[in-house]
Each structure stands twice: as structure tokens, then as C-alpha cells.
Amino acid sequence: MKNPFKRKKDNIKKITKKEKNSNKRTKKKNKKLKDKHKYKVIGGILGDKDARTKKSLRWLLFWILCFAGLVLGIVLFINGKSNMNYEIENNTTPIGTKEEFSKSGADVTIKDVWTDKNRDLLVVKLGYNDSARKKLPIDGDNYHLTLLSNKGKRPDITGSYGILGTEGDGYLFLKGDIKEEAYQIVIANQVQLSTGGKAGDETGSSERELDEASMDKALSEASFEKSDSKGHMFSNLGGKDGEPRFDNIDFRVNGFSDSTNVYKGSFLKEDGSIDYGKVVGKTSIDAAIKKADKKVKKRESEVKLYERSVKDFESRVKKNKKDKEAKKNLEKSKKSLEDAKENLETAKKTKEQWKNLDYDKSDFGDMQEELKFKTIK
């Protein structure tokens, strides 16, 4: 007799197997769906695709860029300011700058800055015009010299100031171990000149008026932070209510600036003293000789031109003695040739005079040979 429960058991097993297969298919399907959506984010990678969300993102990006630009601008401004301050503090006041004495109103021009190959001497040439010669003394010892520094230690240099003759330039000499740095120089006139108040009156009186103690105090209160783009620290030293108290100028000079001329030899003699003749020769006379030489060549060209003209008009007159225009031009050319020859001789003599000039310390008159030192902020 067959067991009535056997079929039922077999049916149960068959149903269970079907379910298992169904479950496997379901899991497989779920896995595929899971793999398909594994890297997807609701709304996409950037989130919600709503227009308002996009607008908000654009504004956020705009403000981020603005902030970055502001930060970059501040950095560039600070860097630029720092570079400008460095240039001001470490370079020579531009050549050609007019320096006006604060009280007398006289102005001198920074004409040239020279040094030698060993940087043993630094020379600053100050050009005096006719007005300055009337308002300012022509002896260097009537000027007060000060070297300012914010380093607290005096550099190993000495200074002197003199004016070449009565119509020459002023020469500031800084002698010693010239470093690659700018020296802040203050030159103060100690004498007030008067011409009696009449135009063209060369006679008059002078009065020494500088209170050195007061000036030293005023200088100590100065600051490098107040320098302008040309290295000037003050124009109204120690003055109040807009009225200057001292008659001074100030400027900076660096023996290593691009504007500094470098002589390939030495400005010092074997004993270490300044060779004034060589200084004047290289800083002034050589340039004057070159200028005179150009004038000589120009005059020689003029002579040759008029010689050719005379020869040509002589030939015309010889061929046609009735040519009145040729005769007239011949006389003019002869006169011009005569003048040109005279001008040539004058130019040659001027050149020789420059070549034969020789200077020494005495040509600078009474020089100021004390350079004071002051530490400031």
C-alpha cells in the first residue's frame, strides 16, 4: 500500500525548489539594479537641478571669486608698497632733480654721481645757477653736513663739501668703505646772504644763523617713513606753521645705483688722500673735452664746405667774367671761410685749455670737512 503522505512530501520539496529559484532570480535582478544605480546621486552630481539652486550656486561662485580677488589685491598692494619703499630707501635721488633750499628758495641740481672701481670715494655734483650763487655762500665750510641712518651704527666714511671756484659746481665727497646702500644726506646753509635789496647789486652782507643744537634735535625727530618718491624726507625741517626754520636740502645717494657713473681707476692717491685733479678731470673735464672736440670737428666741416664753395665760384668767374651772381657769391663764400677758420682756431684753443686744466684741493676754497651722523627711525 502506497504511503499517502509521500506525494505530499515530494510536492513540498518541488515547491521549495521553485521558490529557491525564484529567490535567486530576484536577488540577481536586485543586484543588477543596485549595480546600475550604484554611483548615481539624487538630483545629479551637483545636487538639485532646480533653477533657483543653480542661481544660488552662481552667486556663491561669484562671491568666492570676489573674495579671492580682494585677497590677491591686498597681497599685490602690500608687495608693491614694499618694493616701492625699498627702491626709495636704496636708490640715488634721480639725476637732474632740483633741490630747493627750504628757506632761501635757492635751488641746485643733482648733476652727476660718481664712484671709482674700488668704491673708495663717492662724489655728488650739485649744479649752481646764477640765482643760487647770489643766495648761497660759495665756501663749503658755510654748510652743515649730516648723514642720517636708521641702522644705529655710523658707516665707516668721512665727508666733505666744497664749491669749485666762484662759478663752478658744488662737490660732495664721501670717502671710505662705500657699501651697497643709500646714504641720506642733509646739507644746510648756515649763512643768510643779502644783496641790499637792489637788483644787480653784488655787494651786501651775510649773517651766520644756524643753531646746530636745534638742528640736531630736529633731525633726530625725522623719519624715513616720510620719504617721498625721490628720497626726500622733509622740506620744512624744524619749522612751524608752514615757515621753514632751517635752510636745507636732503637727498639720497647710492654708489651702486644704475645712475652712478663708475670710473675704472681710483680717485685716491697712493697715500689714500683724494686726488681732486682726477676727480674733476673724470667728472667734468673729460666731458668738456669731448664737447670741445665735437665743436672742433664741426668747425672743420664748415671750413671744408666754404673752401669747396670758394673753389666752385672761382671756377665760374674764370669761365665767365661777366657772371655777377657768381662774383657776389664768391665774395660771400670767402668771408664765410675766413670766419669759419677763426671759429676753428677758437674751438681748438678751448679744447687745449680744457686739456691743460689741473685742479687741486685749493681750487675748492674753504671746504666743510665735518660730516655729522644722526640715527633716526
Residue boundaries of the structural domains of the chain: 45-90, 98-287+365-375, 289-362
Report the amino acid identity of residue 71: V
C-alpha to C-alpha distance for 342 and 350, rounded to whole angstroms? 12
Nearest to 266 by CA among 252, 254, 255, 282: 282
Q: At what angle do helices 324-356 and 286-319 cross, to 10 degrees?
A: 160
From residue 342, give the alpha-carbon distance in Å to each of 283, 336, 354: 30, 10, 19
Q: Is the pLDDT of residue 42 over 80?
A: no
Q: Residue 198, SS3?
A: coil
Q: Which helix (H) or strand (E) holds 185?
A: strand 183-189
How many CB atoms sit inside 10 A of residue 307's CB? 14
- What is this structure's pTM? 0.67
Cβ atoms 325, 301 nearer than 8 A:
no
Cβ atoms 190, 144 nearer than 8 A:
yes
Q: What was the pLDDT predicted at 227? A: 67
Share of the chain above pLDDT 70, in %: 70
Q: Is the pLDDT of residue 277 over 80?
A: yes
C-alpha to C-alpha distance for 24 and 31, rounded to whole angstroms? 10
Report the amino acid identity of residue 9: K
Torsion of CA 98, 100, 106, 112, to 10 degrees: -40
pLDDT, mean of residues 51-80: 76
Q: Which helix (H) or strand (E) holds 293?
A: helix 286-319
Which residues touch 288 (CB under 8 Å, ≥6 apart)?
A: 354
| The residue to which cell 633716526 is assigned | 376
Range from 6-20, 102-116, 122-136, 209-223 carrying the lowest mean pLDDT:
6-20
From residue 243, give the alpha-carbon distance in Å to each of 102, 134, 240: 9, 22, 6
C-alpha to C-alpha distance for 348 and 345, rounded to whole angstroms? 5
pLDDT in tens, 308-340: 999 998 899 888 888 888 888 889 999 999 999
Nearest to 189 by CA among 252, 126, 111: 126
Q: What was the pLDDT predicted at 167? A: 82
Q: Residue 13, SS3?
A: helix
Q: Is the pLDDT of residue 17 over 70?
A: no
From residue 20, give the alpha-carbon distance in Å to each of 7, 15, 24, 26, 34: 20, 9, 6, 10, 21
Q: Is the pLDDT of residue 12 over 50?
A: no
Q: Residue 369, SS3?
A: coil
Range from 8-12, 250-254, 302-306, 317-321 carrying the lowest mean pLDDT:
8-12
| The residue to which cell 649744479 is assigned | 127
Q: What pLDDT band is residue 204 in, cutting at 50, 70 and 90?
A: very low
